[in-house]
Structure 1
Amino acid sequence: MHPSFQERFDELGVLLQKTNAARAGRIDRPTPAKPVRYQVTGGSVGMYQIKDRTTGKTRAFRDNYKAAHELAMQFEVQVNRQIAVTI
């Protein structure tokens, strides 16, 4: 690897450690054990997308952020649902 690339990787690693340390100091809540799967993003003016972070695909659209957030939370509950196996 070229030395300039290695220097840049090292710089980015240091910056990432600093931001993670700063973020941990500001947030009183612990980080979740399982990462969030669905993310609400602003697709265009007045429209919000609910994206699946594992596949990168858009799952739904809403014109209200609150409605998009609630739908994303419903998707999370569906994914985290325990499947009961009866024998």
Structure 2
Amino acid sequence: MHPSFEERFDEVGELLQRTKAAHSGLYSRIDRRAPAKPVRYQVTGGSFGMYQIKDRTTGKTRAFRDDYKAAHELAMQFEAKTNRQIAVTL
């Protein structure tokens, strides 16, 4: 592999370690545990008066709502669906 690629991988690895250290420091300051899994769905302000529910893993917009509370509730429902365990029946 080219030396500049290896150097870049090392830089990215160091930045990720710093980010994880900063997150753990933040959660220790507010006396809370860090979440086990990152949030998958995020509510963002798309345009004036409209809120988007985006899937952070794919970057695609999943739905729109005109009320923040409704968008937040829908994002929580999407999150609950992804966290469900698939029941196996025999």
Give the superposed CA RMSD: 2.6
Q: Distance in 1 between matches of 2:69 and 2:53?
A: 12
Per-residue deviation, 1:41: 0.5
Map of 1:1-87 to 2, 5 A cutoff? 13=15, 16=19, 19-20=22-23, 23-87=26-90
Matched AA of 2:81: Q
Q: With the length of structure 1 as denominator, give the TM-score of the two structures.
A: 0.73
Gaps of 5+ in 2: none
Q: Secondary structure of the equivalent of 2:72?
A: helix
Q: Distance in 1 between matches of 2:72 and 2:26?
A: 22
Q: With the length of structure 2 as denominator, give the TM-score of the two structures.
A: 0.71
Give the number of equivalent residue pairs: 81
> Which consecutive aligned stretches of 4+ in structure 1 deviate over 2 angstroms post-superposition?
15-29
Per-residue deviation, 1:22: 5.4
Distance 1:83 1:20, change over 3 A: closer
Q: Distance in 1 between matches of 2:23 and 2:36?
A: 16
Q: Distance in 2 between matches of 1:78 and 1:16?
A: 28
Gaps of 5+ in 1: none
Per-residue deviation, 1:23: 2.4
Matched AA of 1:36: V
